[in-house]
Amino acid sequence: MKKVLFILTTTIFAMACSNGTTEAGKTTDTAKAVVASNSLSDNPDYQKGLALVAGSDCLTCHKTSEKNIGPAYKDVAAKYENTEANVKMLAEKVMKGGSGNWGAIPMSPHPQLKQEDVEAMVKYVLLLKK
Q: Where are the alpha helices (DSSP H) in the chain?
A: 2-17, 29-41, 44-54, 73-79, 84-96, 115-126
Please count the structural domains in the chain.
1
Asked if residues 41 and 34 have their Cβ atoms less than 8 Å apart, the reply is no
Q: Does residue 26 lie within any of the structural domains? A: no
pLDDT at 64 over 70: yes
Distance CA 89, CA 56 (A): 20
Asked if residues 77 and 128 have their Cβ atoms less than 8 Å apart, the reply is yes
Q: Does residue 96 lie within any of the structural domains? A: yes
Q: Using one digit for the tens of pLDDT, what is the confidence trace for 22-46?
A: 444 444 443 444 445 557 878 889 9
Distance CA 63, CA 69 (A): 9
The model scores a pTM over 0.85 = no
Q: Does residue 55 lie within any of the structural domains? A: yes
Distances (CA, A) of 106 to 68, 76, 85, 96, 126: 13, 15, 22, 11, 21
Mean pLDDT of the region 101-113 = 93
In the chain, pLDDT over 70 holds for what percent of residues? 71
Asked if residues 82 and 127 have their Cβ atoms less than 8 Å apart, the reply is yes
In the chain, pLDDT over 90 holds for what percent of residues? 60
Instruction: Please give the pLDDT value at position 126.
Output: 97
Q: Does residue 91 lie within any of the structural domains? A: yes
**For residue 48, what is the domain's CATH number?**
1.10.760.10
34 versus 57: which is more confidently predicted? Answer: 57
For 116, the domain range is: 43-126
